[in-house]
Amino acid sequence: MASAITGAVVINTILRRPAASASALTFYRDAQNNAYSTHYRQSAEYYDQERRWPDSVFWRRRSGLLMSARAAVESSNGAGASLKPPHEVSHVRLAPDARIALRPVLEWPYVGRREVLVTDGNARGLRFLYGVCVPALLKEIQKKPAVTDIVSGYLKRPQGHNSNSDMVRSALVRLYREGVLIAIEPHEIRSG
């Protein structure tokens, strides 16, 4: 169903906005690759849970899939490093691989190009998280690293008018846990 809906938007874009055809096709390809990766990880989890036939060649061949899938995710987002609990973090900065880039996104009934968060592990990008416009949030982080300043700055932006501080803090926590944001001490703030 998701492929059909995405395909319909891509075809609509190609027919009605031919100049955006390349972006629409890129969006579709990336969406399909993302769906494949998601289903692969889910299948690996199912295979890992099977314990009835430990000597079966079929199940032995599949037993390492989950560990391979987890290792790929962890290496792409830097997991494994010890994190301070989010409630102890007062200042953050972007991880070295986190950046804002233009990517094709779904804007019903077309595919358009908008700013998204891109990392080495997510080249497709992320535009919204918990109703928060992630690129606008990242711009606030680049201005002032104090979490309180980031939250208040985002809420003053046009993109933040339909948000509240809990939504913004939830987005910050998620980005921190995924390695997009790195905790810093107040004395580590670079001037200039």
pLDDT tens, 134-192?
999 999 999 999 999 999 999 999 999 999 999 999 999 999 999 999 999 988 776 44
Q: Answer for the pair 137, 171: CB distance below 8 angstroms, yes or no.
A: yes
Q: How many domains does the chain have?
A: 1
115 pLDDT band (50/70/90 cuts)? very high
DSSP class of 85: -
Containing structural domain, residue 112: 2-188
Exposure on the CB side of residue 192, measured as CA atoms within 13 A: 2
Alpha helices in the chain (DSSP H): 2-16, 21-49, 57-62, 65-77, 134-143, 147-156, 165-177
- pLDDT tens, 7-30? 999 999 999 999 999 999 999 998
Q: Is 112 helix (H, G, I), strand (E, B) or coil?
A: strand
Positive/negative CA dihedral, 91, 89, 167, 104: positive
Q: How confident is the model at residue 67 (pLDDT cuts 50, 70, 90)?
A: low
Residue type, 146: A
Radius of gyration of the chain (CA): 20
Give 39: exposed, middle or buried? Use CB within 10 Å, 0-12, 13-18, 19+: exposed
Q: Is the pLDDT of residue 70 over 60?
A: no
Phi/psi region, residue 179 (left: phi>0; alpha: psi -120 to 50; beta: rest), is: left
